[in-house]
Structure 1
Amino acid sequence: MSRIMQAREDEDAALERRLSAELLRSVRPVIRRAVGKCLSFAGTLSPEDLEQVAVMAVLRTVDKFDPTRGRQSFGEVAYFRARTACEQYARLHASDVHPSDGAHKGRTVRSTTCTGSNAIRVQRIDIPSHFSDGALGCDPLVDALEAALGERSGRDADDETPEAMLLAAERRALVFEAVRQLASEQRELVSRVFGINRPAQSVRSVAEAWGAPKSRVDRMLARTLVELRELFVDARE
């Protein structure tokens, strides 16, 4: 871990990534054990979904772990943090129930200033680029979202290098963290259009489900993407 921290201080991203990948490989049993403890109440979340959460928790442990404090090893601390992160994520996923389409009918779509819980639903991801009018298809943020969300966790991990897996996990974590900070109805819109935890929908179909004019949903999506772009950029800095 000291080598990882030194590489970070030296701004040697390639070395830091390689060392982090080696660390993840060495604690893979810890990650799998933490995930296994949460499967009984994970609902529709897959083991791969929870593993992504556990991986990021382990990487954050590198910054927090102090070998001079206490008697726990890095593996023990990493297991505790990974299990806790998976438990919290599973509970958020279970509590963040989709509003029924009927609940949306008869009311307008709120502006981006509305507030709500910060839970975000992420599970099966399959994103065709099928916005209702194609106007957003060339947006760089849309490309970033589709690239990150489209990296399905169900692929055989043995077919990828640890470095590639780490990069993919980091990219997804940044995107999901940005989405998590959106207001609740913005998150609902993004989850529908980009297929987060549900089949992807066109803007037109979302508008029909919500009982709102398509033009209003189009404008809401455009404003949401502007805000999401700012959050995504801030998260990468």
Structure 2
Amino acid sequence: MVPDVYEDLDVLADRYARAVLVADPPARRRLRDRFVRAALPFAGRLARRYRGRGEPADDLEQVARLALVKTVDRFDPGRGSFTAYAITTITGEIKRHFRDHTWGVHVPRGQQDRVLEFIHARTVLTAELARTPTVAELAGHLGLEEAEVVGAQTSAAAHSTESLNAPLGDADGAEVGDLFGDLDGKLSLVDDRTTVAGLLCELPGRERRLLALRFWGNLSQAEIADELGISQMHVSRLLGRTLTWLREAMLSDTPPPWTGAGGPEHRVLVKARSGGVRAAVHGEIDRDNADQVRRALVAATVGCVRGRRLTVDLSRVPLLSAAGIGMLVAVRAVARGRGVPMVLTGVQPAVARVLVIAGLRELLTEA
């Protein structure tokens, strides 16, 4: 009665409906089977529209064929076109198959629809903004609360999951699940990281900034020098001293005292004597603390009786920068103006060479 392939399914459905009205049950089953076989190519074409979306083509065609059988069994000629009814039913079953079988975890149908809207909105806004949209921008585009957008984003990430039995690279027989429970090589660094974090807080602000620019900002010593307004050689000295202190502090129960600028050990100790005033300077003198040392030495000069000597002890000063030289020149001018002789004692060789080059030899010879 019915050919194996028939293009106009509506005409075919009309003939089938009239034939089953007068047929007995065995004949109805034969008519139904022939009608389904004739409509199978139509179901196959609908299934092929969804190829390449992560599901095997054979599974999709099987779903479409089962949906076709349901369509034939439920078809009522008085309610409209068979083709339209078949398209709606088969397409719906295929989409339901994707919802039920392609998600790695169970997600409610409403949330699945929201995920599809979220993915579409993210694609559109990314094209418009030329960047990844924020949660607030997605929420405004979709008319949702930000919490709902975050939920859709989380659900989208759960769409595809990875099996613990997936092969692990080129290793023979190794699987992803073999990594669970393995030793974490970075676990032993937790104590060191915690200790370093605490020690960094004990460093002066300049040294902390110096380390941040070098190891987090990846700047060269020359670039750091330009940033801080000091010489590249001074940056090298500061880095070496800071890293040496960190290493010593890491290996000791009690951190060693910080003797650089800005630390608690950097100070000027003034003591009055019968022959005048003695000022002992501790720590390096550079642009960050030169003004502080100058004020202390000027105060010591003012407290010195005219004609008595101001003795500046530099035995605890390992470094004297250009700012430090300028500071000593300023203090010497104040001392001369008040009639107070000024001498330097305990000068270390490296500092003495700098003083001689700067023209302050007379302060050394008077010592």
**TM-score normalised to structure 1 length:** 0.33
Q: Relative contact order (C-alpha < 8 Å, sep 6+): which is higher?
A: 1
Answer with 1 or 2: which has the greater Rg: 2
**TM-score normalised to structure 2 length:** 0.22
Structure with a larger share of its residues in strand: 2
